[in-house]
Amino acid sequence: MTEELVNRLRQISIQDLVQPAKPEDAKILQEWQETGVRFAASDGRLEKAYYTAVEKLLACIVPMDGSDPVLQEGGIYLGCWLESTGTINAELLSRLVPSVSQTTYLSFAAHQREDGLLPYKLTEDGPSYRQIQLVTPLARSVWNHYLLHGQDRIFLKTMYTAMSRYDEWIARHRDTRGTGCVEAFSTFDTGHDLSPRFWHVPDTPYRNDPAACHPDSPVLPFLAPDLTANIYCQRMYLARMAEELGESGLEWKAKAEISLDRLFRYCYDEDEQFFYDRDRNDELVRVQSDVLLRVMACEVGDQDLFDKVLRRYLLNTSKFFARYPFPSIAMDDPRFDPSSAYNSWGGPSNFLSLIRAPHAFEAHHRYVELTWVMNPILAALSRAQRFAQNLSPWTGEEGFTETYSPAILCLLDYVERLCGIMPVGSDQLWFTGLLPVDMDHGEVVAGNTAYSRTVNGQHFELVITQDHLMVYREGSLHIQGPSGIRLVTDREGRLESVIGMSVRTIKGELIYQGKSIPILIKGNEMQCYTDGVLKTFRDIGIIYPSYQ
């Protein structure tokens, strides 16, 4: 079975499985080919869904205004949004079609206003500046792209300059109350359409001016935790960029610390361990929403804080751990509406939340817990008829719109994180040896799987069965071990560490460099490989689902 699967992987031709529909597609597919990324499964519908996703992704990569192709949101959203397409979507695409990600980032810098404001979206009609619409920090996405692809200093300098000017605009216009927090003037500033968080708040800023708050609103402006966390994280990455470019990052770090301090001072309820908006009357807006996950994805808080919110909220089946996580509002909130039939952040599980989530979990080394999110979503995507904006947290049925790039990228990203080969930073590869779980009605999702990727001219393949994983380098068996683990190597494939990826303790042996290495590793445990043996570096245990 293993030999048959790896042979089929090697015979897969992207051109045979993905049909281009427009002139630009041929070049994009060629770039995909150069990554060497392929996926094969012995059973189920996930393999077919994977290549359908690749084909649908092409429909979301189009030129605008005569430019090179950029990533668009897809579905009914004809354009590129800073909160999503220009940040987290492009960050995921960077591992697959990096030229399009870079063009997308640079498009926002190219359309920066003279006063420093970046457009919140780009369309065929030009840039729009009506609101800010911030979620994923742009600087983090840019930095990760920079590390992955040769560290292009011209690109980094261009983006650093643009983001520095944007930070000045935010500080100048979105702190009217002098708290040091970033203020929301409207619903669309956070992209939270129809969320109870913004009931009785206008969708757009006053007179469509992003620097103007509605003077007659009884509650605005909000001190917004997700916006404040965004700027905190943004400033931390700007500090890294400054140092990379030969400047001091101390000023950025100092500004970041102020943002972090104000976030906890004004927006954090210590008793409830939750982040809330604070309105103009100094009242907390007690709506428990995906704001929590957004703040965590901005690298806020230590291990202890993340573990607490994971236990109390994110893995709580009465809060956010729905059968198909993560709902946009806590399920025990009386305002919760699970309908996914329209663009709503009032209940359904949105794919933008799902593609933002891994960073929050992985930044805090909660790898096993993340798999409990990915498995039901992959099961739902494997049977979906279209790539919708959201899905039902109860049934996993796809909801509003179709050919939506966050949903498409979610499938591609989750496959790579669960059973693929993922480049990380400038010098690491993750080989993850898990199989998608047959979550729904016993229906097989994938069976055994195989995945390939070319890195620095070397071709790697990963084959996973119920009991084993095998890594091939240039066609020869390189590492062999038990399934249920993640191998961390450098870009040459040299073993650096192993991470336990299952709730069970994995016992067996690694075969590496002609040696048999005993392995006994618990979930989330990280063991470093030194002097021919594995030694525990970190062991934080597992946080289990709760039913409070």
Residue type, 220: L
State the pLDDT at residue 15.
85
- pLDDT value at 211 more than 80: yes
Retrieve residue 258's tokens.
């102020």
State the pLDDT at residue 436.
96
Mean pLDDT of 108-125: 97
How confident is the model over 317-356, as pLDDT tens digits?
999 999 999 999 999 999 999 999 999 999 999 999 999 9
Q: Would you mind telling me the total number of residues written for the chain in this entry? A: 548
How confident is the model over 398-445, as pLDDT tens digits?
999 999 999 999 999 999 999 999 999 999 999 999 999 998 888 999
Q: Which domains does the chain have, with CATH numbers?
A: 66-301 (1.50.10.10)
The Cα 150–Cα 154 span in angstroms is 11
The Cα 310–Cα 301 span in angstroms is 12
How confident is the model over 288-312, as pLDDT tens digits?
999 999 999 999 999 999 999 999 9
Asked if residues 62 and 70 have their Cβ atoms less than 8 Å apart, the reply is: yes
Phi/psi for 508 (5° steps) reads 170, -145
How confident is the model over 372-398, as pLDDT tens digits?
999 999 999 999 999 999 999 999 999
Strand partners, 274: 269
Secondary structure element (H or E) that encloses residue 227, with its range:
helix 225-244
How confident is the model over 122-180, as pLDDT tens digits?
999 999 999 999 999 999 999 999 999 999 999 999 999 999 999 999 999 999 999 99
State the pLDDT at residue 242.
98
pLDDT band with cut points at 50, 70 and 90 for residue 1: low
Asked if residues 346 and 336 have their Cβ atoms less than 8 Å apart, the reply is: yes
Residue type, 206: Y
Picking from 166, 189, 290, 182, the residue whose alpha carbon sits closest to that of residue 230 is 182
How confident is the model over 18-76, as pLDDT tens digits?
988 898 999 999 999 999 999 999 999 999 999 999 999 999 999 987 779 999 999 99
The predicted model scores a pTM of 0.97
